[in-house]
Amino acid sequence: MTRELNHTWKTIWVTIVWSIWTHRNNIVFKGSIQDSDDIFNVSQLKTWVWITNKFPKAHFSYFDWCLYLGLCIKSYAS
């Protein structure tokens, strides 16, 4: 596994865990009512932002990231 690929999967994992934790804190401490779909959407957006800023070779749109995750990862992490 290349360094880029390894970092990508770690970033995806951290983003999902962070999104779940933030979602939980908003419910417990702020009493907010949030849709669980928000966790997925925030995770997708944050991961895309972090990856495209970390790797200069990552040239793809957020739209492509959402629809073609595997192809996007292969485009810069191979």
Q: How confident is the prediction for the chain on average, in pLDDT?
A: 92
More confident residue, 48 or 1: 48
pLDDT of residue 1 exceeding 80: no
In this predicted structure, what is the pLDDT of residue 27?
92
pLDDT of residue 56 exceeding 80: yes
pTM of the model: 0.83
HEC states along the chain? CCHHHHHHHHHHHHHHHHHHHHHHHHHHHHCCCCCCHHHHHHHHHHHHHHHHHHCCCCCCCHHHHHHCHHHHHHHHHC
Cα separations in angstroms, 37 against 7, 11, 12, 69: 25, 19, 16, 18
pLDDT digits (tens, 9 = 90+) for 17-52: 999 999 999 999 999 987 888 889 999 999 999 999
